[in-house]
Amino acid sequence: MIDANTLWLLSFYRSSEISGALFFGRIARTLSASPIAHDLSRHFADESQHAWLWTDCIHQLGARPLAIEAAYQDRYLAAAGLPANLMEVLALTQVFEQRVIRQYAQHGRANGLAPAIRATLTRIMEDEKWHIRWVRRALADFAIRHGKDVVDAALRRFAQADDAVFNQTVDEHAERVREVYNLPRRQS
């Protein structure tokens, strides 16, 4: 059986993967054939597969996914504003994917982790590594064409937004994620 906090966290992951799939699917649909369109389409497919993997993991643990109203990514617009172009989409993606792999790796180190969760984290992190690599290559191409300073500024902007969104999310859900993220108990 799965405890309520773990069920919520896995459902939160699932919701974020669904949001990522929908986001990348909408963008992929607008791009003409190109290396970026090719990789973005694979990224879209991976995000969709990750949502399925979390769904299946939750089922293996004897539960049903919870409906989560808002995904982590939904807070980015308020924190950083809407990406203005494809380079900014990729900068946002790079920052977000680096956060995801750090958090999944941290979750993978949690004590008493169910084998189904560990297997799902391990499987997804392999794709996340590829996501970081392809986006890094695409951003390097943008830096050559438009200037490294432009790309670096976008990365900094989205990194600041990501830090704010992550801290806000952890503060709101500290009781649910305490053990996974090794948070200290709040003093009453």
What pLDDT digit, counting tens, does each position of 125-183 carry? 999 999 999 999 999 999 999 999 999 999 999 999 999 988 888 887 777 776 666 65
φ, ψ (nearest 5 deg) of residue 179: -70, -40
Token pair 């949690």: residue:
110
φ, ψ (nearest 5 deg) of residue 128: -60, -35
Distance CA 136, CA 128 (A): 12
Sequence ranges of the domains in the chain: 4-73+83-177
Q: CATH assignment of 4-73+83-177? A: 1.20.1260.10
Q: Are 71 and 161 in contact (CB under 8 A)?
A: no
Copy the structure tokens of residue 144: 């050559």
Indicate yes or no: pTM above 0.95. Answer: no
